[in-house]
Amino acid sequence: MLVDAELLKRVSDGDREAAGSLVEGLWPDAYRIARMVTKNSQTAEDATQSACIEMLNSLPRLRNPASFRSWFFRLVTRAAYRENRRSGWQELVRPLPEQAEATPEQGDLRAAIWSLNPRERLVLTLHYHYGYRSHETLRC
């Protein structure tokens, strides 16, 4: 989701409808990133919710609206790591649902990605799936 400065200003000014639209638009990507870190859907959902709350509370202090996406996804990443620590880094032992529907090649690729540690998995996802540049992924 592309986020414009006007929407961010409205959210910062307390517009609840704008805040709902912003969170709704960001949620799918934020959840996917949290899921890549946590490997657990419930933990990812908790982390995404935590990051959205932190974003809404911290948004008035954001100096550069152009950096919003990278700033927000760093919040998501940190929240996912916090949730992992809180939950004891529980890993899923069964295959992920999307692996069952994949072609053999896709399944091999997904298995390789999921075998990486959370930070490496996140960096690859941010770079190849979300188009972040290398220097942007180093802060995760």
pLDDT in tens, 86-120: 876 544 433 445 545 567 777 787 788 878 887 78
Q: Is the dihedral of CA 77, 80, 86, 90 positive or negative?
A: negative
Domain count, the chain: 1
- Residues in Cβ contact with 14 at an 8 Å cutoff, skipping those fewer than 6 apart: none
Show the domain range for 116.
5-137
CATH number at residue 31: 1.10.1740.10
Note the pTM of the prediction, 2 decimals.
0.69
How far is 20 from 43, CA to CA, in rounded Å? 22
* pLDDT tens track for 41-90: 999 999 999 999 999 999 999 988 888 988 999 999 999 989 888 876 54
